[in-house]
Chain A
Amino acid sequence: KNEVEQSPQNLTAQEGEFITINCSYSVGISALHWLQQHPGGGIVSLFMLSSGKKKHGRLIATINIQEKHSSLHITASHPRDSAVYICAVSTYGGATNKLIFGTGTLLAVQP
């Protein structure tokens, strides 16, 4: 079992729909990250959170530390949101920060 699990693996939505991507983890973490990877491969950090909720434009990320679960929501989805969304966790310890990644959710938003 992976230490970071995402669901669904693939998601197709119609433009305007509300989208939710889930992430569960089984290790102790110092932070959780949501990343966006576009078809060319480049990765952009969307959120880093250790508690509660963060909002940026149409994107909302929440985390429940007790349940070891996070969700990424996209409101009023648009075709330009199509990408792979990756959940990653920062683990404790040492002189540096190591990330453990989920396998990603491929989102396709159709016009």
Chain B
Amino acid sequence: DAGITQSPRHKVTETGTPVTLRCHQTENHRYMYWYRQDPGHGLRLIHYSYGVKDTDKGEVSDGYSVSRSKTEDFLLTLESATSSQTSVYFCAIRAGANTEAFFGQGTRLTVV
């Protein structure tokens, strides 16, 4: 398995609270991505990073922020969680262009 660890794996939180999900890699890959997966939708990109402190928005970035202060860690923060952010969140990593993307195990987040 590619060296990707997401934490926590499961979380229940209340509406309005901030939540941070962590993606940690041991592969020293340049690119990191955060996706959400919901029934009836394909994987949708939230934010991605192409290097330390280099991040950009994806298709569904509203209500989310990210940070990457080290190559190995990519943090996803829900600034004020809403029920619509209940989802399964996947992190992915990629070494470079024309290389395979590897996905983490996922984090199931429930906002009540």
Interaction A to B = no
* Interface, chain A (partner B; CB < 8 A): none
Where the two chains meet, the residues of B that have a C-beta atom closer than 8 Å to any C-beta of A are none
